[in-house]
Amino acid sequence: MNAIVAAVDDLMFSSRIAATAKQMGIELSIARSSEELLSQARALKPGLIIFDLNATRLDPIGAIAALKADDALRGIMTLGFVSHVDGASIAAARAAGIDEVLARSAFSARLAEILTTG
């Protein structure tokens, strides 16, 4: 199973993702900035990158666009979670090339499944 990188600055979500990954024996790396995310993507070649599209301390849309513009990284599966009422972030993520967007509640409910398919 490939590593997973999470670009998440919300402590509750990053803790939950990390705890679930650890419980399942999945290698997880948390990126706290777009630069860190791109560096980890190059080094780890993860099977999945998870984005908190409502992150305030990193630029998830810019990071998605940079990933998808990079020939070596564009094939990495990307999944974002967002408040279901944040239509602007959903549209921006899709325009940047994200592979899948889920509401926060759906992401939480499906977290174990998402990590195992990553």
Q: Residue 66: which CATH number?
A: 3.40.50.2300
Q: Is residue 14 part of a domain?
A: yes
Instruction: Using the Cα atoms of residue 19, residue 24, residue 25 and residue 31 in order, give the sign of their dihedral.
Output: negative
Q: What is the pLDDT of residue 10?
A: 85
Q: Is the pLDDT of residue 1 over 70?
A: no
Q: Is residue 8 part of a domain?
A: yes
pTM over 0.75: yes
pLDDT in tens, 79-117: 999 998 889 999 999 999 999 999 999 999 999 999 998
Domains: count for the chain? 1
CA 108 – CA 92 distance, rounded (Å) = 22
| pLDDT of residue 24 exceeding 60 | yes
- What local confidence, expressed as pLDDT, does residue 34 receive? 87
Instruction: Assess if residue 66 is contained within a domain.
Output: yes
Query: Is residue 117 situated within a structural domain?
Result: no
SS3 string of the chain?
CCCEEEECCCHHHHHHHHHHHHHHCCCEEEECCHHHHHHHHHHHCCCEEEEECCCCCCCHHHHHHHHHHCCCCCCCEEEEEECCCCHHHHHHHHHHCCCEEEEHHHHHHCHHHHHHHC
- Banded model confidence at residue 37, pLDDT cuts 50, 70, 90: very high
Residue 72: predicted pLDDT:
94
Is residue 118, in this structure, part of any structural domain at all?
Answer: no
Structural domain of residue 10, as residue ranges? 4-42+49-105
Report the pLDDT value the prediction gives residue 112, as an integer from 0 to 100: 94
In a domain, residue 25? The reply is: yes
pLDDT tens track for 53-75: 999 888 999 999 999 999 999 99
